[in-house]
Amino acid sequence: MLRAFLVTLLITLFAGALALFLLLFLDGEKEPETKQDISGIVQIEKEDIPAKTVSKEPEMLEPETAEKPVKETEPYDPGGCIRNENGRILEKKQATEGDEATLLFAGDILFDDGYAMMGAMRQRGSIRACFSEETLWEMEQADIFMLNNEFTYTNRGTPTPEKQFTFRAKPENAALLYELGVDIVSLANNHAYDYGEVSLLDSLTTLEGIDMPYVGAGRNLAEASETVYFQAGNQKIAFISGTQIERQSSPDTKGATENTPGVFRCLNETEIFDRIAEAKTKSDFVVVYIHWGTEKTDQLDWAQPGMAKSLAEAGTDLIIGDHPHVLQPIANVSGVPVIYSVGNYWFNSSTINTCLVKVKIKDGKMQSFQFLPALQSNCYTKLLTGAEKEAVLDYMRSISGTVMIDAEGYVTF
């Protein structure tokens, strides 16, 4: 009985010890296995998860996200213009009836109330009464009409000392440009500074205020040399204006510098050639309207032929000259049409022959160049007909030996 009890006790103790041993053995195996698995997960997190999972600002996104196409916006404002920070028009859409664009050019005008022109206008009731119906029709029908604004718009400043003629128009007179169908004016002349720096600055502000594009002057050289573009139908046309007048070392009409206002000079300066080259890459047709030559003579001076050649070689497609106040020759210079002076247009009471120059272009190529004879007399400008027209055409033929001019004024270069 006792033996049986002892055997049973030993078996029970052995079974308990065995169970305890197995429990401890299994727990001991399980803990290292768990630690090894956790260690493996941590290692994966440090080495294999890419950095792009970190939150970033939009500009820090990967290239494939940053290069997502952006929808382009219309560069023109509601008025069909591109402007600078002063509101100056640098590019303008100009509607045309077809693929052909008509450019029209005239010479000097004057809106100074102290001179005969404005007195005649007041007597006649409007500026339109100072032009014939045929002349007004040409100005209004042209897609782009350009002339020389030979005066300042200001009520301020003092006349340039010892200068024989100084011109100053009331700023409100600038609206007369629209009554004449003008689309762009040149300020590159020897009267843009007649009442000092303030008069030029007022002129710029006045023209910007009425949305009249201008070339040839500015608040600094960058502005003065700025090209103005017209998107006329399917063509982009560039307009650049410079002046060689005056020729003394310290001219009354100041040339613009990097930091000071003035006109765009091109006597010895070479920036105009850079502007032409730039415009040639951005447009289909480049016009240079230049103030040069000697007053009151149809003879070219020493600087004009060489400058015309340089302008042509720089990439100009058409050269329109003014300043002499009289007509000067039409010529072909290195394949480029040139009229050295278009003369006065509506500038004084003198009786003098003048003109409109009408150029048609298509696909960036000139289709025709027409010289339209006109007469300025008694503060009135009219296109000529009949014998008067033929007399002016004969005169232009006599001084323009390198071109042919037909009975309607069309020029063959």
pLDDT at residue 14, as a whole number? 54
Phi, psi of 310 (to 5 degrees): -65, -40
Q: Is the pLDDT of residue 294 over 80?
A: yes
Alpha helices in 284-383 (DSSP H): 304-314
Residue type, 269: E
Mean pLDDT score of the chain: 88
Predicted pLDDT at 353: 98
pLDDT confidence of residue 36: 37
- Give me the percent of the chain exceeding a pLDDT of 90: 81
pLDDT in tens, 318-343: 999 999 999 999 999 999 999 999 99
Of 9-13, 76-80, 140-144, 150-154, the range with the lowest mean pLDDT is: 9-13
Contact 358, 102 (CB under 8 A): yes
Contact 299, 290 (CB under 8 A): no
Neighbours of 363 (CB within 10 A): 12
pLDDT over 70 at 48, yes or no: no
**Mean pLDDT across 79-88:** 96
325, 334, 315: which is closest to 413 by C-alpha? 334
Kindly tell me if the per-residue pLDDT of 49 is higher than 70: no
H or E segment at 93? strand 89-94
Instruction: Check residue 398 and report its DSSP letter.
Output: H
User: What one-character-per-residue DSSP string does 334-358 give?
Assistant: TTEEEES-B-EEESSS--EEEEEEE
Given pLDDT bands bounded at 50, 70 and 90, which one contains residue 43?
very low
Q: The tokens of 19 are what?
A: 């169970």
pLDDT tens readout for residues 117-173:
999 999 999 999 999 999 999 999 999 999 999 999 999 999 999 999 999 999 999
- The pTM assigned to this predicted structure is 0.83
Structure tokens at 370: 């027409």
Q: Is the pLDDT of residue 307 over 50?
A: yes
Specify the 3-state DSSP secondary structure of 217: strand
The 10s digit of each residue's pLDDT in 179-229 is 999 999 999 999 999 999 999 999 999 999 999 999 999 999 999 999 999
Sign of the C-alpha dihedral computed for residues 132, 133, 138 and 141 taken in this order: positive
Quote the pLDDT of residue 233. 87
